[in-house]
Structure 1
């Protein structure tokens, strides 16, 4: 959300420092995401990190969930 807001404010003519202050980010953050937006469009603003793969196999995960639910009752 901060990425999109910072870029939008910048494109609307706000001074970089104003956009940064309003979004609680640095001026460099505004510059970085504006450049990415100009190069890649909205797709460039999306989060790319999806997290690491799980450590448990599907069956192990299911067993852990069942065990936790049993402990709650």
Structure 2
């Protein structure tokens, strides 16, 4: 939901050549959902308030573990 809303805002901004900056799109996104601004900005962030205060974070290199159980 929230990532779809953010993608729609970004797409319409581009399609309609509005020229809105990231801050304006994030503010509009906040009216749609608390976590929409983080998807508008497109980077990992620590969110405060209802999602309107974002502090960028640089997560460490991720490690993934894939388990495949032998269950029939």
TM-score by structure 2 length? 0.32
Q: Which has the higher helix share?
A: 1
Q: Which has the higher strand share?
A: 2
